[in-house]
């Protein structure tokens, strides 16, 4: 089943743009972990951190803050990472996708964003294409399902969408039943370079990538400038690999992104000086020009509105979390404490149970060398050595000895049952529950006064044939 799913996804990769973030909507996500539960002051919303995990890529983890609105029954990602985008003809709106859904932002001094659709990161479908219509406040959305291998086209009006507050809100769009007669229109977006894009024409210039010669330079290119004013071309630099090259609407400026000397670099070409000017040591993943001097781009650090000289440089995905959950920590811990060693698994399980009942995040890890083998008992998750040292001193009061270890496998660390997180209010309990056989499962439930359990956020995973909770 897993192999079949991967093959289906790979067969459609040519249709999608992947920005090389930790996870994108084209990736197979095996399971998720919830933690850091928060409740709003009015009691109608809960926020939590959601971590994406996949056994095939244990080194890649990605975390976001999700919000469940009980009144609307909507699940919202409060800090999505943009992957692809489209800009409307009037240049007022940007529509972008992330692994968690589709979003609409208003390109003004202070950008505001609404979530149009939520997408579970473990869903089988992806946003194949989306954008605006030319003459109407409408968008089109193409969804591709990796299971059925079908594409579904939908149209939605966005004229009544309201941008409220500093944090991302959500709306419910009503799908149009009748086909839209207006033509599609999005500003052109340049993304991953291909062989057709290896040269561009400017005023009196041609900028092009030319393949290096020789066995040692296979796959490498030179960046060359050819000018009508000079008889011989100028080599701007050698031994690079092209990633993106885009010229502005009046052919007076160009943005170039390359891989060189072990890292990505992005430049703008100065037409007057026939020289490159460094923008940043980051990769531009896609770019769309608003006019001859301003553009929207997605880089390794997010989505930006910039001018070619960087006098304008505004981060569009600088999303603000609500005050009641702004302390959610998206960083991963670096240290844990080894507090015991057991030669047999049942002994290790007993120690784990005791420590977990005391409220610790605890796991065991098999260890073997020439002299002994058994299970190391590891406790906590700390962001600094000082935090780990302080926690260790507390454990010493319970007759535990400790040693500070670096966490060298975050996948195994998070694929571990933690003590239940619980928030009590008005005689009710909201809590994150965990369950594990081979892979961790998480869900958030509300226990009412009569002990009736209501699922607030169900588990999101691709674990086949999992048992009932």
* pLDDT single digits (tens) 229-246: 777 888 998 999 999 999
pLDDT band at 10 (very low <50, low <70, confident <90, very high): very low
pLDDT at 62 over 70: yes
In terms of Cα–Cα distance, which of 96, 148, 90, 139 is closest to 119? 96
Q: What is the pLDDT of residue 344?
A: 92
In terms of Cα–Cα distance, which of 152, 154, 148 is closest to 116? 154
Mean pLDDT of the chain: 89
pLDDT band at 164 (very low <50, low <70, confident <90, very high): confident
Mean pLDDT of 365-387: 93
Is pLDDT larger for residue 366 or for residue 135? 366
Measured distance CA(98)–CA(14) in Å, rounded: 17
Domains in the chain (CATH in brackets) are 2-187 (no CATH), 195-315 (2.120.10.30), 333-406 (3.30.70.1070)
Neighbours of 81 (CB within 10 A): 22
Q: What is the distance of C-alpha 434 from the center of its chain?
A: 24
For the stretch 1-6, contacts whose Cβ atoms lie closer than 8 Å and that sit 24 or more positions apart, written own/partner, are 1/464, 2/28, 2/462, 2/464, 5/124, 5/146, 5/462
Q: What is the pLDDT of residue 270?
A: 78
pLDDT band at 196 (very low <50, low <70, confident <90, very high): low
Is pLDDT larger for residue 68 or for residue 216? 68
Q: What is the pLDDT of residues 102-134, one digit of tens each?
A: 999 988 766 689 999 999 999 999 999 999 999
Q: What is the pLDDT of residue 1?
A: 44
Q: What is the pLDDT of residues 48-60, one digit of tens each?
A: 999 999 999 998 8
pLDDT at 5 over 60: no
pLDDT band at 12 (very low <50, low <70, confident <90, very high): very low
Neighbours of 347 (CB within 10 A): 16
Q: What is the pLDDT of residue 440?
A: 95
Mean pLDDT of 262-272: 89
Measured distance CA(373)–CA(365) in Å, rounded: 11
pLDDT at 411 over 50: yes
Contact 227, 204 (CB under 8 A): yes
Q: What is the pLDDT of residue 16?
A: 35
* Contacting residues for 99 by C-beta, under 8 A, at least 6 apart: 23, 24, 25, 27, 29, 52, 62, 80, 81, 83, 119, 121
pLDDT at 20 over 50: no
pLDDT at 438 over 80: yes
pTM over 0.95: no
Contact 16, 26 (CB under 8 A): yes
Q: What is the pLDDT of residues 292-339, one digit of tens each?
A: 999 999 999 999 999 999 999 999 999 999 999 999 999 999 999 999
**Residue 22 CA: distances (Å) to CA of 28, 99, 154, 238, 296:** 12, 10, 29, 30, 22
Q: What is the pLDDT of residue 2?
A: 44
pLDDT band at 18 (very low <50, low <70, confident <90, very high): very low
């Amino acid at each position: 089943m897993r192999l079949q799913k991967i093959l289906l996804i790979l067969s459609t990769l040519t249709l999608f743009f992947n920005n090389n973030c930790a996870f994108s909507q084209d990736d197979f996500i095996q399971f998720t972990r919830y933690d850091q539960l928060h409740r709003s002051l009015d009691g109608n919303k809960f926020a939590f951190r959601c971590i994406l995990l996949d056994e095939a890529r244990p080194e890649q983890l990605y975390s976001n803050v999700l919000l469940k609105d009980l009144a609307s029954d909507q699940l919202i990602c409060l800090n999505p990472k943009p992957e692809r985008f489209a800009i409307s003809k009037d240049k007022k709106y940007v529509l972008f996708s992330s692994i968690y859904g589709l979003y609409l932002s208003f390109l003004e001094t202070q950008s505001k964003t609404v979530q149009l659709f939520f997408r579970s990161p473990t869903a089988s479908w992806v946003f194949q294409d989306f954008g605006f219509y030319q003459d109407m406040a409408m968008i089109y959305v193409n969804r591709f399902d990796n299971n059925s291998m079908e594409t579904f086209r939908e149209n939605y009006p966005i004229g009544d969408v309201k941008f409220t507050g500093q944090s991302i809100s959500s709306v419910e769009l009503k799908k149009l039943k009748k086909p839209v007669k207006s033509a599609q229109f999005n500003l052109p977006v340049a993304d991953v370079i291909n062989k057709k894009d290896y040269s561009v024409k400017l005023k009196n210039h041609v900028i092009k990538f030319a393949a290096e010669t020789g066995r040692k330079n296979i796959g490498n290119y030179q960046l060359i400038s050819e000018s009508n004013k000079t008889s011989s071309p100028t080599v701007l630099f050698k031994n690079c690999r092209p990633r993106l090259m885009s010229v502005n609407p009046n052919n007076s400026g160009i943005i170039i992104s390359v891989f060189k000397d072990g890292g990505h670099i992005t430049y703008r070409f100065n037409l007057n000086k026939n020289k490159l000017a460094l923008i940043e040591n980051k990769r531009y993943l896609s770019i769309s020009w608003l006019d001859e001097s301003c553009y929207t781009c997605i880089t390794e650090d997010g989505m930006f509105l910039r001018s070619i000289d960087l006098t304008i440089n505004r981060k569009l995905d600088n999303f603000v979390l609500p005050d009641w959950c702004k302390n959610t920590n998206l960083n991963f811990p670096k240290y844990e404490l080894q507090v015991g060693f057991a030669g047999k698994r049942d002994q290790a399980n007993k120690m784990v149970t005791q420590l977990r009942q005391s409220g610790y995040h605890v796991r065991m890890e098999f260890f073997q060398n020439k002299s002994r083998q058994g299970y190391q008992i590891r406790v906590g998750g700390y962001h600094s050595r000082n935090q780990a040292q302080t926690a260790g001193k507390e454990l010493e009061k319970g007759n535990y000895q400790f040693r500070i270890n670096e966490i060298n496998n975050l996948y195994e660390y998070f694929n571990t049952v933690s003590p239940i997180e619980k928030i009590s209010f008005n005689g009710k309990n909201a809590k994150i529950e965990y369950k594990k056989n081979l892979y961790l499962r998480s869900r958030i439930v509300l226990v009412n006064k009569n002990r009736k359990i209501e699922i607030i956020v169900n588990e999101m995973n691709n674990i086949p044939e999992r048992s009932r909770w």
